[in-house]
Amino acid sequence: MTTWKTGELGKFITLKRGYDLPQQKRKNGGVPIFSSSGISGTHDTAMVKAPGVITGRYGTIGQVFMADEDFWPLNTTLYVEDFHGNNPRFIYYFLKTLGWEKFTSASAVPGINRNTVHKETICLPDIATQDKIASVLTTLDDKIEINEKINDNLAV
């Protein structure tokens, strides 16, 4: 039987602001750098161990990214610092459904305060159910990626 728990998002995961890394301080390397709109370059040093889930904090809001290798989240992002025992891939899919727009401040450049997000009431299933859901969704994403590659090859 599946057990679901309800509580504030901050009880289930801890979000943290990314790190500054000016363009002139970036060194050529294989570590992906995540901005609010996804991978925006590489660096020779990681700030966070994988797996990672990242979303935009300023600028692009609402996109959620999964990092399967160590990475550098820029200061325009929030990343999951602690999954509190939850399945990282499930959290990735869950955060894609969160409706980030409701957390944005009314300013020229949209922004999100992690403390506000942490207070959002959510409901999550037990870890066994998270694992099953994440597995099915990952399989579907993998199939979509394969189909997109096939379509790209057919278009050539």
Report mean pLDDT in 10-residue bins for the chain, 156 residues: 92 98 95 96 98 93 95 97 98 96 77 94 97 97 90 80
Task: Judge contact between 117 and 7, C-beta under 8 A.
Answer: no
Token reading at 153: 């090859």
The values of phi and psi at residue 17, to 5°, are: -70, 145
- Quote the pLDDT of residue 60: 85
Task: Judge contact between 124 and 130, C-beta under 8 A.
Answer: yes
- Quote the pLDDT of residue 106: 61
Contacts of 133 (CB under 8 A, 6+ apart): 90, 93, 125
- Quote the pLDDT of residue 152: 82
Distances (CA, A) of 15 to 26, 81, 83, 98: 24, 6, 9, 14
- Whether the upstream peptide bond of residue 32 has omega within 30° of 0, thus cis, is no
Read off the pTM.
0.91
In terms of Cβ atoms closer than 10 Å to its own Cβ (0-12, 13-18, 19+), residue 19 is middle
In this structure, which topology does domain 4-155 adopt according to CATH?
Adenine-n6-DNA-methyltransferase TaqI; Chain A, domain 2 (3.90.220)
